[in-house]
Copies of this chain bind each other. A is one copy, B any other.
């Protein structure tokens, strides 16, 4: 089995952005490249939120350019490997997602799991680490922002929250972002909703921000609000100053 190179699983944009925010988008893509292929899913399933976070890449890109920081994004579907999960989590290569069986993940051997972990998880997170280390070694203080979207209705249950602001161990930046989001936007914004670190959704923050003592936040945007290029652009334009002011709030404190 010929495995892809790191370039085919991770992309980096605006790498020379010199401001502190480092954007990461683990669920950016609904691509199903060789050697894994479509996992037996229909075209409709491959477009659905189970395969990726619709709209998240575009918002993350808009934030990266507005905030002049880099963006590190996945180029493979979360159903092949969910980069916000460690390799021993069943959801890293989920056999079932919401109400869908994932045929290509039904009977993975330890060798299959290792191959995906080596081909996708390790190079993606090595790239994130390298970008943070590059800035730290040069005396900068990078800030990790992961950008996600969530479905308005999950397993039949509607969700009223529009912007979820989630943190790993240190809540500082998330609390400041929430305060600014409430002050500056009309979105229904809530801390640690629709899920939180206790649900295992902050792996990227736990892996990169917490051990290095970096400010961090995970943004979860309800995907019906970012369904078009126009609304994605507007969301980035709305959230960029929220992040900037949140940082100013912390630095002024």
| A interface list, Cβ under 8 A from B | 86-88, 110-111, 113-114, 116-118, 121-122, 125-126, 129-130, 133-134, 136-139, 141, 203, 206-207, 210-213
Contact = CB atoms under 8 A, between A and B. Distances in A.
A133 B133 CA distance: 21
A133 B123 CA distance: 12
Contacts of A110: 137-139
Given A118-B137, A206-B211, A210-B210, 4 more contacts: A110-B139, A117-B133, A126-B126, A126-B129
A138 B139 CA distance: 38
A47 B67 CA distance: 48
Contacts of A203: 211
B118 A130 contact: yes
Instruction: Describe A's contact surface by its main secondary structure.
Output: helix
Contacts of A136: 86-88, 117
Contact of A118 (B133, B206, B207, B210): B133
A87 B137 contact: yes
**Which of A111, A141, A213 counts the most chain B CB atoms within 10 A?**
A213
Given A203-B211, A210-B211, A212-B86, A130 B122 contact: yes
List 6 tightest A-B contacts by C-beta distance, closest first. Answer: A110-B138, A117-B137, A87-B137, A88-B136, A206-B211, A114-B137
A136 B88 CA distance: 5
A46 to B, nearest CB: 24
